[in-house]
Amino acid sequence: MTATVAAQARRLVRACDRAALATAQHDADGWPYASLVMCASDFAGAPLMLLSDLAEHVRNLKRDGRAALLFDATADLDEPLAGARLTVLGRIERCAEPAARARYLARHPSAAGYAGFADFGLWRLEPVRAHLVAGFGAIHWVDGDALLVDAAGAEALAAAEGEIVAHMNTDHGDALSAYAAGLLGRGGGGWTMTGIDPEGLDLRRGAETARIAFAAPVDGPGAARAELVRLAGVARAGLAGDGAAGGAR
């Protein structure tokens, strides 16, 4: 496994807002039970889910915390089997961290309407290993530790995340739209930032999600600001170039 493979696996988890959750059915001799769950990730990249105690998968997890999440990035491809998907194996436990909860609700604003219900709780998967299929013949096992970014030294960035996200959404919506259009080819406005971490930032527009990777890891607000400014310049230069090329045609 190379660093590039691990980074690809991390990006896939960050980019997807849903996954198939497989648990061992509590009343059927441990037969696999699969369900759809909405996902976010904590600052280090561990998957987060907001689950109801009334759901079958939670009953299963209370009996056996081992589970798997399948993240699928093939939905828009003509040949889905040529696309990337990642199965993450690990143990799922309740998570009481306010920062993780805030990250989940930023990723899924509509969940705020029921997140406070007594039967709902945040759950976190601690990765043990993962299986990445990145297309035909591109198949790799990834260590669980490699799925998480080393956040040591990035405590200042974690502490400032909420402020950075709020500032970008309030004052720099044009830059967020430029990121999506100029870096990912996903034009139109309305994008909001939902999170930032040492390796990149996450965007959302309605049902769409997007991931923007940084050129190099950042460890604090100053480094993050410099990278956000740099990305805006690259994105706008790309859009200006596309406009010039379109005019030339």
Is-contact 111 56, C-beta < 8 A?
no
Nearest to 102 by CA among 160, 16, 145: 160
Residues listed for the chain: 249
Cβ-proximal residues to 20 (8 Å cutoff; 6+ apart), any chain = 34, 35, 36, 37, 69, 70, 72
pTM of the complete model: 0.91
Count of beta carbons in the 10 Å neighbourhood of residue 237: 12
Catalogue all structural domains in the chain, each as residue range(s) with its CATH number: 3-147 (2.30.110.10), 155-244 (3.20.180.10)
* Residues lower than pLDDT 70 in the chain: 1, 242-249
Nearest to 18 by CA among 48, 46, 44, 42: 48
CA dist., res. 198 & res. 219, Å (int): 6
Nearest to 85 by CA among 95, 77, 93: 77
CA dist., res. 184 & res. 206, Å (int): 17
Task: For strands 120-133 and 208-213, give the pairing.
Answer: unpaired
- Residue 33 bridge partners (DSSP): 23
pLDDT at 249: 35
pLDDT at 244: 45
pLDDT at 248: 40
pLDDT at 27: 86
